Copies of this chain bind each other. A is one copy, B any other.
Amino acid sequence: MIDFKTELSRHVEEVELILKEQFPVVNESYSQRVVDAMKYSFFAGGKRLRPMMMLESYRLFCGEREADVKPFMTALEMIHTYSLIHDDLPAMDNDDYRRGRLTNHKQFDEATAILAGDGLLNLAFELVADSMASEENAEMLMRKSKAFRKLSNKAGIYGMIGGQMADIQAEQKTEVTKEELLFIHKNKTAALIQAALTIGAVLAGATEEQVMKMEQIGYNIGVAFQIQDDILDKIGNEELLGKPIGSDEKNQKITYVTLEGLEASDKEQKRLSGEAITLLDTLPGNNEFLSALISSLITRDR
């Protein structure tokens, strides 16, 4: 058995190194400010879960050329980062701090933060484009095309952006249905996890059926994680949650727990988590660290 905590920090370091190496060096005197702002948020720590999951999914399917997955890992993390920068803006969540540092628009200014977000989203696809335009193997180019399609789809109106829009609208409502809440969790949270797991699989040459399983696992992890978050907010441990408990109630936020009650939420969370682990076990490869990582996400202690 592996010591998960030690393994996790080793993997975070590994991913961090890849992200540093993949971020292009830019020396453009007149536009340096936007690059500085992009780097400020991109290299602000973070758990690096999404690129880590992508790499481990690639390894699960025995991908043999890790250089192929690195630009996609970096691209996905750039997309995650840009969404945080724009989310923090005054017109959105209006947050001054993130991970103990000033948010991008507080450290720089609003105009720069808008451009830095745009810049990261664009740069994500630029990395993918560079990786594709220099690909000489026809089979690999086709895999990269599919990975590119998955990335753009999960990040956009059919994925993360769609979830953000629905979330903003739900916050202004007094009634939210379970269907609507699941739409938000699926798109706002699960979509990028699905991107991570499926892109790793696609690039490693997994079959369509295997990719579909990874997509399902990503959905289950994303939604189970959110329900767990709601449960922890209700009964839980402030330290584990990273924010004061009871905040949902205070903000009159409609969550899975307020809609379905604690017991049913717990049951559904366990069902989703269990199914994710079972599905992972049906796949031919074995990646002990990925299994442990997934378990740690969806079974955080209460």
Instruction: Please list the residues of chain A having a beta carbon within 8 angstroms of any beta carbon in chain B.
Output: 26, 28, 30-31, 33-35, 38, 82-83, 86, 89, 91-92, 105, 109-112, 114-115, 117-119, 121-123, 125-126, 128-130, 132-133, 135, 138, 141-142, 145-146, 148-149, 151-153, 155-158, 161-166, 168-169, 180, 183-184, 187
Once A111-B92, A132-B148, A149-B129 are accepted as A-B contacts, the answer to whether A169 and B118 lie under 8 Å apart by CB is no
CB distance from A1 to the nearest CB of B (A): 40
B155 and A122 within 8 A (CB): yes
**Chain B nearest CB, measured from A181 CB (Å):** 10
A30, A38, A89, A133: which has the most chain B beta carbons within 10 Å?
A30
Most chain B CB within 10 A, of A89, A118, A142, A151, is at: A118
How many identical chains are in the complex? 2
Are B161 and A31 neighbours in the complex by a CB distance under 8 Å? Answer: yes
Complex Cα–Cα for A185 and B158 (A): 35
Q: In the complex, which residues of chain B have a beta carbon less than 8 angstroms from the beta carbon of A141?
A: 138, 141-142, 145
**Residues of chain B with a CB closer than 8 A to A114's CB:** 86, 89, 91-92, 114
B91, A111: Cβ atoms under 8 Å?
A: yes
In the bound complex, do residue A138 and residue B138 qualify as a contact, i.e. CB atoms below 8 Å apart? yes
A68 to chain B, nearest CB (A): 14
* Set B30, B155, B163, B164: member contacting A162, Cβ < 8 A: B30
Closest to A82 in B: B118
What would 19 A/B residue contacts be, using CB atoms closer than 8 Å? A26-B157, A30-B165, A30-B169, A30-B184, A38-B157, A86-B114, A86-B115, A86-B118, A91-B110, A91-B111, A92-B114, A125-B148, A129-B145, A129-B148, A129-B152, A132-B132, A132-B145, A133-B145, A133-B146
Interfacial chain B residues near A138, Cβ < 8 Å: 138, 141
Q: A122-B155, A184-B30 are in contact. Are A165 and B115 (CB under 8 A)?
A: yes
Set of chain B residues within 8 Å of A110, measured between Cβ atoms:
91
Query: A77 → chain B, closest Cβ, in Å?
Result: 16
Determine if A165 and B33 form an interchain contact, defined as CB atoms under 8 angstroms apart.
yes
Q: Decide if A123 touches B156 in the complex (CB within 8 Å).
A: yes
Contact partner of A149 (CB less than 8 A), chosen from B86, B121, B130, is B130
Complex CA–CA separation, A156 to B26 (angstroms): 12
B187, A31: Cβ atoms under 8 Å? yes
Contact A122 B121, beta carbon cutoff 8 Å: yes
Given A86-B114, A132-B149, A165-B112, A28:B157 Cβ within 8 A: yes
- Contact partners of A86 in chain B: CB under 8 A: 114-115, 118
Residue of B nearest to A166 (CB): B30
Q: Determine whether the beta carbon of A122 is less than 8 Å from that of B156.
A: yes
When the two chains form their complex, are residues B91 and A156 in contact, meaning their CB atoms are under 8 A apart? no
Q: Which residues of B contact A183 (CB under 8 A)?
A: 30-31
Which residues of chain B come closer than 8 Å to A158, judged between CB atoms? 26, 28
C-alpha spacing A158/B148, complex, angstroms? 21
